[in-house]
Structure 1
Amino acid sequence: MKSLRLVLRAFKVLPLVLLGGCSALQVVNSVSKIYTVDVKENIAFGEDPKLKYDLYLPDTASEEFDATPVIVFFYGGSWNRGDKSEYEFVGRRLASMGYIAAIPNYRLYPEVKYPAFLEDGALSIAHLKKELAKPEYKNRKPAQQFIMMGHSAGAYNAAMLALDPRWLESSGLTHQTSIQGFIGLAGAYNIYPINDVEVRPVFDHPNYPPKSQPIDYTAKASVPSLILTPETDTLVSIERNSEALHTALKSAGNQTILQTIEGTDHVTIVGTLSPLLFFKGSTSKPIEKFVRTLHKPATDRTATASER
């Protein structure tokens, strides 16, 4: 659960592109500009100056779906580092696929500990619902239910918001009508006891708060889930987290998919959404397939109607 800057160390091509004083991070996000989308930056959703989100919109409204899928992406960083600006490449890639994507900031340790970042996430979703209800977005046909998505620690945030109703309900939302699905990349879903010394104080180690892990909420979950894992992960145990969450969800009768992205590790699994890692396995393809199961394309419905 390291900062995105670790992604940059993993890019074999970086020595070839670090020219003219540009930082590697600038390169990653600059290259992503090949995806031409509309971007609205720094939409404030709380009193804290950090609480803002960036909104990425498809260049043109998609005619594929009756309602445009909305994905909220939470970045990782051990809950003590990270910023939405580092993940422009994720927002652009998702919007280029025809989705509306929001990337919110959330407060970090040592300013806050669990559960403040979950409260921030819920607040961002409540604000996003109001934002997308504005007349200026009418032609984009935003879906009323959102898909929660995250990487590493951000996947924890996304999973908790998707599986545990109390967070959205505390922000005045009805969980059932607000959440459509969950997508996790190399997520932390079952981390107790915590070995990472950076993460321990975030959850008051060793006095862990009860019922504070996504795996605690699988029995009552009714949210379709796509759990993506890297081929190797030395930072977050795949077996203890992704595989365990998938098994628990499946055992409880929930719709869940577990898929490994070939050639990736904990960091590069999210990096595959950047054009720089085109030679790795695709993360976007299973995401696209999963979203299609949640948003049946209008063409499919037309075909079905014509067969009657």
Structure 2
Amino acid sequence: MHRLLVACCSAMLLAACAGTTVLNTLTPDRGYTVATNQPFDPENGLRLDIYTPDGAEGAPVVVFFYGGRWSEGSKDDYKFVGQALASRGFVAVLADYRLYPSVRFPAFVEDGAKAVAWARQRIDGFGGDPRKMFVMGHSAGAHIAAMLALNPTYLEAAGTSRDQLKGMVGLAGPYDFLPITAPDLRDLFGPPETFQKSQPIFFADGRNPPLLLVHGEDDEAVWVKNTRNLAKAVAQAGGAVETVIYPEMSHRFIVATLAAPLRGQSDVLDTIAEFIKRRAQDAPRSNEPEIQTTPILLP
């Protein structure tokens, strides 16, 4: 029965919306509470959901951004991610952001910064510790998380600082995707003379919070070179980075394995949880470069 369930879930992932609906339906409702639709940017109608583990007090906080080519998706599609993080004792914040074509770069990164700033100010009321904050994302959401961790201007404009982040987790993120050739992406990130500003790799300055970059060799949507190239750039700059490359892992399956019915198919959640728990204990960071490099790890 379990194998049949896994096979069905995996097949449903071929249709993204249907896949997340199935995963959310099979997600347990016990062990946590959810504060839904908390407004963090009323002017733009942006809201977030907060998943708090039962009995949480001073827990690490993870602000998660979903993927969808910067043009589709909703926090409501990722209950399974909120539950997964809460199951490991973390307060999960799932935030919406404005989508193309209603907005263009860097509006969605600015939205992400506002969500982080809101959480820093209020998360202690939901069992989280604002001194133990992480950003995390999948695909386009990993791009947003990386921009917040690597380019300090976004969080500073929102009234906080990347020095207040304990770390960033990226799942199958686009970090180094020049040249941009797809017409919609050229419009989204244009004009061409500013394309470089959209690439996280160009902001590797050695002062980043620790990064955990996770990717699959079988990813045909976002090539694994994005993760390898960013890891190399950050390490060469003297920044903290850890990279896990799975020999067999597709673009959608890497986030889907966080869901309860698929959790036994990989150790992605274990890897994320170990990183967050370890880095949450780090001493407060200064703006001086952290001289630390970690080689690419192959499981």
Match of 1:186? Answer: 172
CA shift, 1:230, in A, is 1.2
Task: Give a deviation string over 1:207-252, Cα, whole Å, max 9, x none.
Answer: 434432111111243311100011311111111x100000111111
Offset from partner CA, 1:146-179 (integer Å, 9 cap, x none): 1110011110000001111100110111331x21
Distance in 2, Cα, partners of 1:92 & 1:262: 26
Tell me how far apart the structure 1 counterparts of residues 10 and 215 of structure 2 sit (CA, whole Å): 27
Matched, 1:255 2:248: no
SS in 2 for 1:208: helix
Structure-1 residue corresponding to 2:25: 30
State the match for 1:171 in structure 2: 158
Structure 1 stretches lacking a partner, 5+ long: 1-10, 18-22, 298-308
1 CA distance for matches of 2:224 and 2:19?
Answer: 28
Secondary structure of the residue aligned to 1:120 is helix
* TM-score for the superposition, normalised by structure 1: 0.82
Name the structure 1 match of 2:214: 228
CA apart distance, 1:282: 1.8
Specify the code of the residue in structure 2 equivalent to 1:69: P
Distance change >3 Å, CA 85–CA 141, structure 1 → 2: closer
Return the alpha-carbon distance in structure 1 between the equivalents of residues 82 and 91 of structure 2.
Answer: 8
Once residues 188 and 128 of structure 1 are traced to their aligned partners in structure 2, the CA distance between those partners, rounded to angstroms, is: 25
2:26 is aligned with 1:43: no
Q: Which moved more, 1:189-198 or 1:75-84?
A: 189-198
- Checking the alignment, whether the CA contact within 8 Å between 2:119 and 2:130 is kept in structure 1 is no
Give the letter for the 1:204 counterpart.
G
Q: How many percent identity over aligned positions?
A: 35
Equivalent residues of 1:226, 1:290 under 8 A apart: yes
Q: In structure 2, what is the Cα distance between the partners aligned to 1:193 and 1:214?
A: 14
Larger radius of gyration: 1
| Corresponding position of 2:295 | none
Q: In structure 2, what is the equivalent of residue 202 of structure 1?
A: 188
SS in 1 for 2:27: helix
Shift >6 Å, 4+ stretches: none
Q: Render the CA deviation track for 1:26-56: whole Å, top value 9, x for unaligned.
A: 3210211255311010001113454100101
* Alignment RMSD: 2.3
Indicate the residue corresponding to 1:242 in structure 2. Answer: 227
Give the residue type in structure 2 aligned to 1:70.
V
Task: State which of 125, 133, 144 in structure 2 corresponds to 1:146.
Answer: 133
Structure 1 residue 24 displacement after superposition: 4.7
| Structure 2 partner of 1:5 | none
Partner of 1:122: 113
Q: Distance in 2 between matches of 1:141 and 1:28?
A: 26
**Does the CA contact (< 8 Å) of 2:66 and 2:138 recur in 1?**
yes
CA contact (8 A) 1:262 1:280 kept: no
Residues 75 and 82 in structure 1, CA contact (< 8 A), matched pair in contact too:
yes
1:97 aligns with 2:88: yes
**Do the aligned partners of 1:263 and 1:280 also contact (CA within 8 Å) in 2?**
no
Give the distance between the partners of 1:280 and 1:264, measured in 2 at CA: 10
Q: 1:160 to 1:53 in 2, by over 3 A?
A: same
Q: Which residue is 1:111 aligned to? A: 102
Cα distance, 1:60–1:14 mapped onto 2, change above 3 Å: same
Asked if 2 retains the 8 angstrom alpha-carbon contact of 1:57 and 1:101, the reply is yes
Q: 2:267: which partner in 1?
A: 282
